[in-house]
Homo-oligomer: A and B are copies of this chain.
Amino acid sequence: MSDNQNLLAGLRILDLSRVLAGPLCTRPFAEFGAEVIKIESAPSGDMVRQFSKLRGERSLYFIQQNLGKKSVCLDLRDPRALQLIKDLVAVSDIVVENFKPGTLDAMGLGYETLKTLKQDIILCSISAMGQTGPLAAKPGYDTIAQGYAGVTAMIGDPNGAPSIPCIAAGDVSTGVHAAFAILAAVYHRDRQGVGQHIDIGLLDVYYNFHEINVHQYSGSAGALNPRRSGSHLGYVCPGGAFKAPDGYMIIMGFAHHWKDMCTAMGREDLVNVERWNSDLKRVAIRGEVIELIETWLAGFASRDAAIAHLEAHGVPVAPVLEVGETLEHPHFKARGTVRTIHDPLAGEFAMPGNPIKFVGREAASPAPAPTLGEHNETVLTELLGRSADEVAALVAAGTLVKKNL
């Protein structure tokens, strides 16, 4: 069995990105064996090095998003640092950045300049609202893009405030859209010899989550107006989160599953009764349906007992697992959905596995996430041909910074 680390060998990314969406774009490249050189700004580097410092000064958050990358830490106000970046562009295939739109140009590193350094360079710019349009300068918080995208409005109690999900669906998805765009540009470059400037906005990605809402509203001229529907899907019933004796569970007892649901509850009388015999009718009396099911669930000793009973009757069900319940779940361990990191400084802890799996290739652990400036010397000497003396002078001048954290 070979491993997965040589899949993208030969590609080099100069990664100017910070925080989340950018680092999540470049992480899959690092996981599959591309060389990712992360530029961090002195004195303290990527700001997420301050998050989740649960093991001394080492950030588990930084580790999670930056596995397998190299770190070069530079004082970006120093013209010599800018020259190093330009020299790195000249030997890279791809540049990734997620500064506020306009910043890269202001630094003298706009796409037109990059092309003079490397004719077929691929520049991927990631931002909250995109590089263009009247909202382009808005602050880059996930929730700002989510609110505009009509996504927040589709989550939570329809009679109250919307809910803010405590997950990074937008940033993760934006990162992988950017990663796909980069490989599409590489495919094209390999055949046509030209680079690209890619413009990925969190807003556009969030908006693309609407698989049905936009066309339903538009196609019906507003007669259909999709809205959030709380703990249950809005168009089928039963389908959603139900209260069990010790937690919540998902039950999808709609359409042809309704018959199995009724049989499981010993309520075969409800299969064909006029008020209950279609999803449309059950949606209209959803409160009654939910109460019936939750009252019945209360009779079980546990959520797991209810799940086993419903599964035996062929009804699609799942526990609403809390994060802490996932870590030792046999499926998560068997598939590597969860993985254990052995970090030289932070030790052992769990994080999500690489969601992209190649059958018959071992999901080899990439190298550890770098300490700040860990690869200053190797990158400057081996890649840029600087002498040890030149590197020492840059260190002495404070242009190159290194910290073991």
Contacts and interface: CB of A to CB of B under 8 A. Distances in A.
Contacts of A211: 20, 24, 61, 64-65, 167-168, 171-172
Contact of A321 (B149, B250, B353): B149
Contacts of A353: 204, 207-208
Contacts of A30: none
A172 B360 contact: no
A193 B357 CA distance: 19
A32 interface: yes
A79 interface: no
A60 to B, nearest CB: 4
A8 B187 CA distance: 7
Interface in A1-30: 6-8, 10-11, 20, 24, 28
A389 interface: no
Interface stretch (A69-77, A173-181, A281-289, A376-384): A173-181
Contacts of A139: 252, 316
Nearest to A316: B139
Q: How many copies does the complex hold?
A: 2
A321 B213 CA distance: 13
B130 A349 contact: no
A266 interface: no
A37 interface: no
Nearest to A226: B323
Interface in A288-334: 316-327, 329-332, 334
A6 B185 CA distance: 11
Contact of A147 (B149, B151, B319): B319
Interface string A179-216: 11101111110110000111111011101111111111
Contacts of A154: 165-167, 323
A147 B172 CA distance: 18
A392 interface: no
A385 interface: no
17 contacts: A7-B185, A28-B184, A61-B215, A144-B317, A147-B250, A147-B320, A148-B326, A148-B331, A150-B326, A152-B250, A156-B156, A160-B231, A164-B229, A186-B187, A197-B358, A198-B359, A203-B331
